[in-house]
Amino acid sequence: MAAITKPVLKAVALCGSLRKASFNRGLIRAAMAICKESIEGIEIEYLEVEPLPMLNTDLETPPSGFPPVVELFRQKIRDSDCLLFASPEYNYSIAAPLKNAIDWASRPPNVFAGKAAAIMSAGGGFGGGLAQFHLRQVGVFLDLHFVNKPELRVKAFQPPLKFDENGDLIDQETYDILKQLLLSLKNLSLHLKSN
């Protein structure tokens, strides 16, 4: 008898930092490894936001044509089940590269609509919490459904050391919270899809 394979949820991960050794991208790598090694039924694809042009609606060709790189980006989000945002905090808000990517994906038809999303951040004293709040506010208009708990706000500049020189996560406590966040994202995504 053929084995019954359970469908795998597809998550798309976006990072707001373009820095090579970005801590926030390190969180995405850790999340991808956790899903591969110890969470069944969800896989993460990391999408780069750097190739996207700065948003300019003059680049759109009616009725709904976008530059090829934007169209591909939008397609990947449209085909996904849920989102994982790694959001650095710049001046108490969302980093510009991430906001630019979100704005492209929000253009009609908004490809985020109805999907589950989780946010993680690494930053200064509040661990990027203010950027997370702004992202949640933006998510209202995008019709995203955010995981509320656990909150993953990594205080990257306080001991113990959380990341190595390549930006790879080396802190077990953060790993554990990240795993819980991913489980919550999977559950919320399944819940939304079943309704």
Ligand X SMILES: Cc1cc2nc3c(=O)[nH]c(=O)nc-3n(C[C@H](O)[C@H](O)[C@H](O)COP(=O)(O)O)c2cc1C
- Within the chain, where are the H helices? 23-38, 68-78, 96-106, 129-142, 172-194
- For 100, half-sphere exposure in the C-beta direction (CA atoms, 13 angstrom radius) is 17
Peptide bond into 51 cis (omega under 30): no
Name the strand (E) or helix (H) holding 145. Answer: strand 145-146
Q: Is the CB of 9 or the CB of 44 nearer to ligand X?
A: 44
Q: Is the CB of 22 or the CB of 174 nearer to ligand X?
A: 22
- Supply the minimum distance, in Å, between the C-beta of residue 54 and ligand X: 17
- Supply the minimum distance, in Å, between the C-beta of residue 90 and ligand X: 4
Q: Is the CB of 41 or the CB of 125 nearer to ligand X?
A: 125
Q: Which of residues 24-53 bind ligand X (CB under 6 A)?
A: 24
DSSP 3-state of 58 = helix
Q: Is the CB of 70 or the CB of 122 nearer to ligand X?
A: 122
β 82-86/116-123 pair status: parallel
Which positions from 64 to 93 touch ligand X by CB under 6 A, shown as an x/- string? ------------------------xxxxx-
Total residues contacting ligand X (rule CB under 6 A)?
A: 16
Amino acid at position 182, single letter: L
Span of 21-29, 49-57, 136-144, 174-182 interacting with ligand X by CB under 6 A: 21-29
Q: Is residue 177 a contact partner of residue 152, using CB atoms and an 8 Å limit?
A: yes
**Residue position matching structure tokens 């038809």:** 109
| Dist CA 171 CA 169 (whole Å) | 6
Contact between 124 and ligand X per CB under 6 A: yes
For ligand X, the binding residue among 9, 11, 13, 17 (CB under 6 A) is 17
- Supply the minimum distance, in Å, between the C-beta of residue 58 and ligand X: 27
Q: How open is the CA angle 130-133-139, to the nearest 5 degrees?
A: 145
Contact between 133 and ligand X per CB under 6 A: no
- Supply the minimum distance, in Å, between the C-beta of residue 42 and ligand X: 23
Site residues for ligand X per CB under 6 A: 17, 19, 22-24, 88-92, 122-124, 126, 128, 156
